[in-house]
Amino acid sequence: MDRNRILELAADMTLEEKAMQMTQLSPDMLYHLSPSNLTGPLREWKFDDKQLWETGSVLGPSGAAYLRKLQEDYLKTSRQKIPLLFMSDVIHGYVTIMPIPLAQGCTFDPGLCEEAAAVVAAESAAAGLHVTFSPMADLVRDPRWGRVMESCGEDPCLNGRMAAAMVRGYQGENPGDKGRIAACVKHFAAYGQPEGGREYNTVDMSRGVLRDFYLPAYREAIRAGAALVMTSFNTVERIPATCSKLLLRRILRQEWGFEGVVISDYAAVEELMNHSVAADALEAGEKCIHAGMDIEMMSGVYAGTLKALLEQGRITEEEIDECVIRILELKNRLGLFENPWKDADEQEEKELLYCQKHLDTARRAARESMVLLKNQGALPLGEAGKVGLAGPFACTGNLLGGWHCEGRPENTRSLGEALQEKLGDRLVTAMTEPFAWGGERDVPDGAEEAALGLKDCEICIVAAGEPEWETGEASSKTNLRLSRNQEKLIHALHAAGKRVVLVLFSGRPLEIGPVLEDCDAVLQAWFPGSAGADAVADILCGSYNPSGHLSMSFPRSVGQIPVYYNYYNTGRPAEAKADSYVTGYRDCPNSPLFPFGYGLSYTDFVCEGLKISWAGDLLKASVRVRNTGKRSGGTVVQLYIRDVSASVVRPVKELRDFRKVFLEPDEEMQVEFSITEDMLSFYDEQEKWGWEPGEFDIMTGLDSEQVETRRIFVPAGAGREA
């Protein structure tokens, strides 16, 4: 359908039809069912049948048969035969669940991330969905916030690369193509920095911090072609993002040229009244229309106020049409006017969902996402002797993580099953009772019995962590330690003379300092998805050499949080003086327990010989990487830059590029990075993007702390793009 036809459709619509096209509801409401997720202010809004069957999109439906019927029933009532949009939170998998996004960030492999997203798209499309509310490009620095699991981490460069990869994986060349869906980047903006790590809380930061750290990943997702953007619940500069002209008009549309659809988060339009920026629904609707917010999710402000606002002259019909036309253009881009069912196909659904090919991708993604944090010769497991397995994640399928859509823990292979296949009768289990759903955040105390039951095992694997339902939305926590009885189990096994391998399942970095000394090895497995148990077993038994590197720093103590690598230095940096009058703590170092970019391997790598050279106006950095160990493996070579003296304070270092490399024993590789203008640039006090001539520290290494540094002077006119 061409644009003229879309304009004709919009011109022919009544105001009520336009308002409902701009409203998203639960599909259950159309059939007068009681939506299980119906919360908040939507209860107060009353929609008649005519309105319900004019809504432009629905939230959270699933299943090809159901969605085909829903679309058929809808089109029978639609005067203009404008199809419904089906949207859902398919964050890291539909039925075949990939590792959580925070774990995918640890792969440092955008290509693999794109491949995983393509699997998610194929399953979602066959099930009839059109849009996923993913990727979440929020930068995260506070693991107390439960939704860090949905982000790819604390760094703008990595986060942006992975968000763009997910967009490409979901949409391909065109979201209307078979097996593709539209991506909605969220939560715009700065949702990842709530005060105190508390969900839905206020966000307050300077404009420079917002632009330097928090906006770049959204921008990369937009550049990759994301079809939609979702606003965040929080305020930015004292204005809720849902009605922020700064974010939605100036930055998103004017500066970045975004022409797609903007949708609110759940009931966020109505919540402007709670924020005290709207006295009533009329003012809430007025502010969101002026900001260019196209679709209101799960509340009835637009449906209930647009007529009055128009009659009172508080909004214009042009503003309404602007929103409606963007929605129609999205439906057209998806090909829904020609084929309202798109890819919904019951037979393909049966063939694709949870198929072996998709599970193989999930297994590769899980293996590459896991990070070996410590290893004192305990891993990989030897070929002889009994191996103990204990802990609440030993014999459970609850390995999927929050937002696992249609994934089924009861159909997910457990670590015990995966290890049994590899170890046979060498495997001995004890104290494997899982967390009780919704119960105490601990397991029964069986530490002494476990130590006794595993007395014949020289090495014991403890599969520990946090319950998967304690991660995700509305899952903020102040205590990030393992539960009391899990810590007691680790201490008891160590005291019994066992070599302890801790396998951590979590949706966030945990505070593991209290047990670290009693562990001979620590593998951070995250919530690894449908094939996660097999991936863990592959690593423990040595058939895969871990290659993941941390996408988020691990704190020594909750009291340090937020702790992150790319901080601003102060006038009294801790490392500058030996006295007490420096920035620091009396009882804890400033540094993290494990820094961003950190990850061990079963082999050893050396990264050295950093050289800086010029090729015309282009600056290049090259470094030599060598596998000095006895087996093949992968690592991540990281390039960091520091602006030594600028017009505004700059971070002590910033990741600007990275390469994941795989080397055979004794193999050596020269890794070269091109240093462009963008890598030297920042937003100055006037919010202008650019770089300033002067001295720069160029750093390379295998994590953010252990780097080799060269200081160079870059004169005006240098550093041009390749």
Helix (H) / strand (E) containing 533 = helix 532-540
Say how far apart CA 294 and CA 302 lie, in whole Å. 10
Please state whether beta strands 85-88 and 57-59 pair in parallel, antiparallel, or not at all (unpaired): parallel
Query: Residue 117 burial (CB < 10 Å; 0-12/13-18/19+)?
Result: buried
Say how far apart CA 247 and CA 255 lie, in whole Å. 10
Say how far apart CA 336 and CA 327 lie, in whole Å. 12
Determine phi and psi for 367, rounding to 5 degrees: -60, -45
**Are 654 and 664 in contact, with CB atoms under 8 Å apart?**
no
461 CB neighbour count, 10 Å cutoff = 32
Candidates 265, 294, 343, 657; catalytic one: 265
693 Cβ neighbours under 8 A, 6+ residues apart: 713, 714, 715, 716, 718
Closest to 240 in 3D by CA, of 215, 206, 204, 207: 204
Q: Sign of the CA dihedral 111, 113, 119, 122?
A: negative
3-state secondary structure at position 336: coil
Closest to 381 in 3D by CA, of 521, 208, 528, 588: 521
Say how far apart CA 110 and CA 115 lie, in whole Å. 9
Say how far apart CA 272 and CA 173 lie, in whole Å. 37
88 beta partners: 132
104 Cβ neighbours under 8 A, 6+ residues apart: 92, 98, 112, 113, 116, 152, 162, 365, 369
Say how far apart CA 685 and CA 541 lie, in whole Å. 54
Closest to 601 in 3D by CA, of 505, 553, 665: 665
Q: Tokens at residue 275, please?
A: 């924020």
Q: Catalytic residue at 265?
A: yes
Longest dimension (CA), the chain: 81
| AA letter at 173 | E
- Show which residues are catalytic: 265
